[in-house]
Amino acid sequence: MHEPLVDMDTYNLVQEKVKMRKRPDAWGNYGIFAGLVKCGECGSTMNQRVANAKAKTRILTCAKYNRYGVAHCSQHRLELDTLYQIVLEQIRSCAALALADETKVMEELRKSCQCDSEEESRRIKAKLSESERRLSELDALISKLYEDWVAGRINETNFTRMMEKAQTEQETLQKKADTMRERLNGAAKEQEDNSEWLSLIRQYADIKELDREMLHLLIKEIVVHARQTHECVSRPNPYN
């Protein structure tokens, strides 16, 4: 039997960590994957249960399917042991790659979180300083206009027209500059998170076992699709 496709976002965002669920499994244990595994079709949590009481095969299935049946989702059955092996392999290969080619992994991380490349950031920075320059010109222009008007060097109609024009440009430019600043800050934060994750993952190249703490530290989310292939498993990089 083919197992479902497991799509893993191994990219850690400590501050966005999924809430850990504290519900024990059928054996009273807190599953190490609890809170991390989602159904790829409906987004529900995957519940852990026993498929074969005799063999004690533990499986994960879509919570929505369990509750509402086939009209709402499909089972997405995945054996826990299989998931364990897949995740172990994935972490090890990610770690090996991080050790072997840091630059490549950083680049993949950057792509996966869709943040700006350095080149793009540089372009935005240049544009931002250009906007800032124009904004201070506008400030000076507005003060000058006001002085001219007070001194009677310009009539009311012209003053109003020019003032409106300058203020409109100022507002538009201000908004643009704010957006650019936010984007630059976002990119810097992503970069920092990526570096942090990279230094973490490198420590896991030789792990033999998984534990809950490690999983929550390294993996943001595991998505189980119903497609019958393993193709994604070998992909060493985070995505989503």
Question: Shortest Cβ distance from residue 78 to Zn ion (Å)?
Answer: 12
**Nearer to Zn ion (CB atom), residue 34 or residue 94:** 34
> What does 204-238 look like in DSSP terms, one character per residue?
GTT--S--HHHHHHH-SEEEEE--S--GGGG--S-
Residue with tokens 């709402």: 72
**Nearer to Zn ion (CB atom), residue 25 or residue 41:** 41
Sign of CA dihedral 101, 103, 104, 106: positive
Residue with tokens 């790659």: 97
Question: Shortest Cβ distance from residue 43 to Zn ion (Å)?
Answer: 7
Q: Quote the Cα angle for 44-115-16, to 5°.
A: 40
**What kind and span of H or E run contains 49?**
strand 46-52
**Nearer to Zn ion (CB atom), residue 69 or residue 152:** 69
Question: Shortest Cβ distance from residue 37 to Zn ion (Å)?
Answer: 11
Binding site residues, Zn ion, CB under 5 A: 39, 41-42, 44, 62, 64, 73
**Nearer to Zn ion (CB atom), residue 65 or residue 204:** 65
Question: Shortest Cβ distance from residue 68 to Zn ion (Å)?
Answer: 10
